[in-house]
Amino acid sequence: MLNTTGLRLDQGPPIHVPFRFFLTAPFFTVLSALALLHQGEALLASRWVPGTLAITHWMAIGFLGQIMAGTLLQMLPVIAGAPVPRVQHFGWVLHLSLSMGAALLGAGLWYSHPPLLLTGALLAALGFSALLLAIWLALYRRRGSGQQIRGIGFAAFSLGVTVLFGFLLAATLGGWLQLSDLLVWVNLHLAWAFLGWVGLLIASISIQLVPLFYVTPNYPVWLIRSLGPLILLALCLGTLFALFQQPAAARVAFGTAVAAWMVFGSITLYLQHERRRQRMDPTLLHWWVALLCALVAGILWSLEGPPVVLGILLFFGLATGLSAGMLFKIIPFLTWFHLQSQQLGAGHLRVRVPNMRTLLPENWAYLQVALHLIALLCLLAAWAEPSWTSLAACFLGSEAVILLVLILRNLWYFRRVAGRISAASSAQA
Ligand code: HEM
């Protein structure tokens, strides 16, 4: 049973708005897998290999950015109780600019081609600006003062800083600007990206969805209240220290943010352990692998571990796995909810709406989790022994294809059952 208390589900956008993002995202994982197959062993040698930087942004913007944008467009009106105005237009602009931006930025980094790089950076910045505007509107028009929406506000602020720093970096690489000490700026860009944007967004969405989807106790109030402000303060201080060349103080500040997120991750694992229904479910496996990767990444970071391993753990372990885990819950729920609403709106209950297990068959979901886990292990092995790279690429591509098939299957069910509901309404009239 889902606990939907406090959510205003009728405020969400039409189903095709979030689905467009969810359907595009796996293509960027396939693209990254093909790049790994093509350039293979060279890519995991260093964080500065052009192909590695390209994959970073195909995954960061093309995969993760799309899923986060689709989820937010769906969730913001539900949590804030006020619809995003002109959500279909927002959806179009956001989707096109993020997709094109990710593709071109990645290509520009890969080929070290300034016009491609700058066009991609401009488009990605445009897409993220549209997302920030949607978040700002939801915050501005919200009813009530939810902590979750405040958390999303903090994540949005971090996204703004990430995009600004990313754009400055792209402008420097493209010859428009001259930033001294590029490494400091790159590190600031990725700190705001992971700890602020990705970290705080995952935390805010989890605080809303983990008790809802797994029927767990709620997160402690002190954590909900303090996590966002603490991480944001630590990031701001860390940035100032880094820019004023105080590396030791900057590390303490960023370390505080990492530790705060690790506390959140550990509490999430504990709450999931305390869930009311102890049944195993493939999404839980995704959560556990993702959180474990994040915790290991936190420890490795504090030990100054290899950046490529950190990147694998954060992008492929945390972000890709958790996104798939969330999609496995969100997608069948949205399909079911929209069909049920359509039927209620039509004033009859004649058509049987498939339940969530039918919409997302567990054996396929387990297969996707297994492929994900193997891909992750192969990627880690490939860092130590490059000959594993091709195998890692094959598993990465396969997990993305299965994800795509599962999303398409939901869309197919939606179209079929929605058609039956319309036909039943016409017959009734
Ligand atoms: C408009 C959006 C963005 C632009 C224009 C952008 C641009 C850039 C550029 C130019 C670099 C430096 C490449 C180099 O030094 O050769 C970089 C590095 C990086 N970016 Fe972005 N970026 C954007 C968004 C993001 C997002 C959303 C994430 C993560 C969620 C991200 C993650 C990273 C990481 C991890 C690195 C460092 C890679 C490494 O050091 O191994 N970027 N970005």
Residue 5 confidence (pLDDT): 47
DSSP 87-134: HHHHHHHHHHHHHHHHHHHHHHHHHT-HHHHHHHHHHHHHHHHHHHHH
CB 277 within 8 A of CB 15: no
Q: Is the pLDDT of residue 74 over 60?
A: yes
Q: Is the CB of residue 69 below 6 angstroms from any atom belonging to ligand 1?
A: no
**pLDDT tier at 367, thresholds 50, 70, 90:** very high
> Which contacts (CB < 8 Å, 24+ apart) does range 109-114 have?
109/50, 109/53, 109/54, 109/57, 110/35, 110/50, 110/51, 110/53, 110/54, 111/50, 112/50, 112/173, 114/173, 114/174, 114/175
* Residues with Cβ within 8 Å of residue 319, at least 6 apart in sequence: 59, 63, 64, 198, 290
Instruction: Please indicate whether residue 144 or residue 76 has the higher confidence score (pLDDT).
Output: 76
Q: Which pTM value belongs to this model? A: 0.92
* pLDDT tens digits along 152-173: 899 999 999 999 999 999 999 9
How far apart (Å, rounded) are the C-alpha atoms in residues 249 and 237?
Answer: 9
Which ligand 1 atom minimizes the distance to the CA of 314?
A: 35
Count of beta carbons in the 10 Å neighbourhood of residue 65: 27
Residue 313 CA, ligand 1 centroid: distance in Å: 16
pLDDT tens-digit readout, 237-289: 999 999 999 999 999 999 999 999 999 999 999 999 999 888 888 999 999 99
Q: Is ligand 1 within 6 A of the CB of residue 173?
A: yes
Q: What is the number of other CB atoms lying within 10 angstroms of the CB of residue 240?
A: 13
43 lines ligand 1 (CB under 6 A): no
**How remote is the CA of residue 68 from the centroid of ligand 1, in Å?**
17
Closest residue CA from atom 20 of ligand 1: 190
Residue 3 has pLDDT above 50, yes or no: no
pLDDT in tens, 121-148: 999 999 999 999 988 888 777 765 566 6
Whose alpha carbon is nearest atom 43 of ligand 1?
A: 166
The Å distance, Cα 56 to ligand 1 centre, comes to 7
pLDDT digits (tens, 9 = 90+) for 319-346: 999 999 889 988 998 898 888 888 887 7
The alpha carbon of 162 and the centre of ligand 1 are apart by a number of angstroms equal to 8
Phi, psi of 349 (to 5 degrees): -130, 45
- Predicted confidence (pLDDT) per residue in 89-112, tens digit: 889 999 999 999 999 999 999 999
What pLDDT sits at residue 56? Answer: 95
pLDDT of residue 317 exceeding 90, the answer is yes
